A and B are shown apart, each in its own frame.
Chain A
Amino acid sequence: MTRAILSCTGLDKSLGSLAREVAIRSAEVLGCELVCPVLLHSAPARYEIILANGDLIVIDGCPTRCATKLANQVGAKIDRKVLVTDAVKASGLALEPSLSLGPQGMQLAQRLVDALVRDITAGIGTPEDLASLKAPDDYLIVMQDKYQFRIPAREYAFTENDTWVRIVGERAFVGVSDYIQQKMTDITYVAPPASDDAVEQFGELGTIESAKAVLEIIAPVSGTVVEVNTTLIDHPELLNDDPYGAGWIAVLALTDYTADRELLLDGAAYAAIVQRKAAAEAG
Chain B
Amino acid sequence: MMETDKQTVLVIPCSGIGKVHGLISREATYLVTDELAPGQTQTQCLALLVKGDADAVTAVQSHPCITIDGCPKACAQKNVEIAGGTLVKSVRVVDAFKTHRGAEPGSASGLTNDGWTIAREIAEAVTAEVISRIADREVAP
Name A residues whose Cβ lies closer than 8 Å to a Cβ of B: 7-9, 11-13, 16, 20-21, 23-25, 27-28, 34-39, 41-43, 64, 66-67, 69-70, 99-100
At the interface, yes or no: B7 with Cβ under 8 Å from chain A? no
- Chain A residues within 8 Å of B75, by CB: 36, 38-39, 42
- Chain A residues within 8 Å of B26, by CB: 11
Asked if B17 and A20 make an inter-chain contact with CB atoms under 8 angstroms apart, the answer reads: yes
Asked if B47 and A66 make an inter-chain contact with CB atoms under 8 angstroms apart, the answer reads: yes
- Chain A residues within 8 Å of B78, by CB: 42
| A46 vs B122: C-alpha distance when bound (angstroms) | 28
Asked if B50 and A12 make an inter-chain contact with CB atoms under 8 angstroms apart, the answer reads: no
A-B pairs, top 10 by smallest CB distance, nearest first, are A34-B18, A9-B15, A11-B45, A38-B15, A66-B47, A9-B47, A41-B50, A36-B17, A38-B75, A12-B45
* B43-83 vs A, Cβ < 8 Å mask (1 yes, 0 no): 11111101101000000000000000000010110110000
Residue of A nearest to B12 (CB): A11
Given contacts A38-B75, A39-B73, A42-B73, contact A24 B17 (CB under 8 A): yes
Given contacts A34-B18, A36-B15, contact A99 B30 (CB under 8 A): yes
Asked if A16 and B17 make an inter-chain contact with CB atoms under 8 angstroms apart, the answer reads: no
Asked if A16 and B45 make an inter-chain contact with CB atoms under 8 angstroms apart, the answer reads: yes
- Chain A residues within 8 Å of B51, by CB: 41, 64, 66, 69-70
Contact of B17 among A7, A12, A69 (CB under 8 A): A7
| A24 vs B29: C-alpha distance when bound (angstroms) | 20
Asked if A11 and B43 make an inter-chain contact with CB atoms under 8 angstroms apart, the answer reads: yes
Q: Which of B85-111 contact A (CB under 8 A)?
A: 108-109
Asked if B73 and A37 make an inter-chain contact with CB atoms under 8 angstroms apart, the answer reads: no
- Distance between A115 CB and nearest chain B CB, rounded to angstroms: 19
Asked if A38 and B14 make an inter-chain contact with CB atoms under 8 angstroms apart, the answer reads: yes
Asked if B43 and A37 make an inter-chain contact with CB atoms under 8 angstroms apart, the answer reads: no
Contact of B48 among A21, A34, A66 (CB under 8 A): A66
Residue of B nearest to A12 (CB): B45
Asked if A67 and B47 make an inter-chain contact with CB atoms under 8 angstroms apart, the answer reads: yes
Q: Can you name 27 A-B residue pairings with CB atoms under 8 Å?
A: A7-B17, A9-B15, A9-B16, A9-B46, A9-B47, A11-B26, A11-B29, A11-B43, A12-B44, A12-B45, A13-B45, A20-B17, A24-B18, A24-B108, A34-B17, A34-B18, A35-B17, A36-B18, A36-B75, A38-B47, A39-B15, A39-B73, A41-B50, A42-B79, A64-B51, A66-B45, A67-B47
